[in-house]
Structure 1
Amino acid sequence: MKRGTTFFLKMAVILIGIPILALCIFLVPKIGSFAGELYPDIAYMKSLVLIDMYAAAIPFYLALYQAFKLLSYIDKNQAFSELSVKALKNIKYCAITISTLYLLGMPFYHLMQMRVDPPGITAIGLVIIFTSMVVAGFTAILQRLLQEAINIKSENDFTV
């Protein structure tokens, strides 16, 4: 693969991370404060919403880092290596973790939606959960295919 293509994909990975960082800096604190204002009798509501959203950002950035490493392996002609399989496995686990964290936070988002006029908070959470599970499934398939290709390659290396 040409370096230009992987450079473009590396820039895309970086550009994906920037808006999420902006959301974490500017929007997540407002969402936490909003949750605290909706339920002032539940003292820990703001903290739980903040913890859930920031905790989900950590595996997101770990997955982006693993994707960046995977593209670096492709640049170095190590695409068919155990390192690539490990990177895909880590991306899969990160996607499952994001989905699980948002699934655990859904009761809080549902409580917020019950007091908000235009409903949609729960739908956004469900979209995040579904998207993360699709990414996990896709990376699991890629991981298995790459592992099979590595096995076939090693068998061919032994026969020659």
Structure 2
Amino acid sequence: LGLIDRQEAFSDRSVTILKKIKRYALSVSVLYVAALPFVFMIADKDDAPGLIIVGLVPIFASVVIAVFAAVLQKLLREAIFIKSENDLTV
């Protein structure tokens, strides 16, 4: 959002920031997947099947964020390419 305020939204820096967001979101989902067996053991011990669904929500949310960031990254890369083509055409 800071790049948008400074009118630098269509820059290579914003593409790298989206790439970092995608990586961090995937890292969060991997960490939650790694913790899911422990949640499953606790849910099995306490006989609470809803706990597993609650454990899946952060995984789903972070994967959705990662996919959204990847799509935005690709669209932004294409927009930067089109903008540079238009800047060269006078």
Q: Distance in 2 between matches of 1:108 and 1:118?
A: 13
For structure 1, the 5+ residue unaligned runs are 1-70
Q: Within 5 Å, which residues of 2 pair with 1:1-160? A: 71-160=1-90
Q: Which runs of 4+ in 1 moved over 6 A?
A: none
For structure 2, the 5+ residue unaligned runs are none
Count of matched residue positions in the alignment of Structure 1 and Structure 2: 90
Q: Distance in 2 between matches of 1:115 and 1:76?
A: 53
Q: Taking structure 2 as the reference length, what is the TM-score of the superposition? A: 0.94
Q: Distance in 2 between matches of 1:145 and 1:84?
A: 12
The amino acid that maps onto 2:15 is: V
Q: Please state how far the C-alpha of 1:151 moved relative to its aligned partner.
A: 0.4
RMSD: 1.0
Q: Please state how far the C-alpha of 1:117 moved relative to its aligned partner.
A: 3.8
Q: Please state how far the C-alpha of 1:127 moved relative to its aligned partner.
A: 1.1
Among the aligned pairs, what percent are the same residue?
51
The amino acid that maps onto 2:61 is: T
Q: Taking structure 1 as the reference length, what is the TM-score of the superposition? A: 0.54
Q: Distance in 1 between matches of 2:12 and 2:40?
A: 42
Q: Distance in 2 between matches of 1:73 and 1:120?
A: 41
Deviations 1:12-71 (A, max 9, x none): xxxxxxxxxxxxxxxxxxxxxxxxxxxxxxxxxxxxxxxxxxxxxxxxxxxxxxxxxxx1
The amino acid that maps onto 2:56 is: L
Q: Distance in 1 between matches of 2:72 and 2:21?
A: 11
Q: Please state how far the C-alpha of 1:122 moved relative to its aligned partner.
A: 1.4
The amino acid that maps onto 2:19 is: K
